[in-house]
Structure 1
Amino acid sequence: MKTTALFRPIGPDQFEALKKLEFSQIPSHVFGQKFFYPQLHESFAKQIAKEWYLPKHGHAYVIRLEIACSYLEQFEVKRIGGPEHTEYRIPIEEKANFSRELVGKIEVIAEYQQDTIKQPFLFCRIGETTEAILSPAAGFQSHFQCLA
């Protein structure tokens, strides 16, 4: 059977639920939305974990799972940004089938804690506006310091 690796960031509650299931299936509340969004690239899942889950929960994980390619063929790959920003959208109704198609145990491949990830500081000159530097379009959060 041919398989493919998929990746997914999760928060602390999802991690605890995964432990209770002995890393053998996706917990129900990972499907807490209309779709389950496993990523095709580890780097994209890590980016989401650090930029979304970590600030929200203070702790984030990235899981890796193997799934049968024959099962995934029915779903379209969606690109939502750059070349590595690709994911599947698995409908919530498919949770049982998705878990049945997992091959082996789900692995935790990365863990992040808020106190170990430092947000970068941005420095600006006196008179420079922070709005120009810290625009949401630029993807920056409000961690900055202006020096005299």
Structure 2
Amino acid sequence: MLKFLLSRNGHTVSNEINHYFSGFDALEKAVSKQAVFQAKKKLDYHFFAFINAQLCRHYYKNNKYKTWRGYSVIAVDGSIGEAPYTNECFCMFGADIPNKKFNQAKTSPRISGFYDVLNELYIDVSITRFSNCFIRILWK
């Protein structure tokens, strides 16, 4: 599941499933998008920040990385993600504006990160409540 999520390219889940399994020449063993959503619900959101920190530590320790006049060029990026609407996610991230079409609230955590522009690598990622503003997240 993690390998599938990390290899996504921003297409629909159905297209991503077909692309992922065709890479293994195992398209007939592809799972349904419902199975992907069920498996995704079981993941702890802390995992992604943890694995990113480990990858960054390894990269900067074992590679000659690019700098500009001896400085790392860092940018800040922010986005709003999607999380399954569960009690745990609601307590952790709060609720976003209700979906009027389905009359259902959704959880949408704010995601913010520091990005190493020259090495094309996220250095730090923070996932917080929807109600937190991006400026406040930067100072943490």
Q: Same fold (TM over 0.5)?
A: no
Bigger RCO (CA 8 Å, 6+ sep): 1
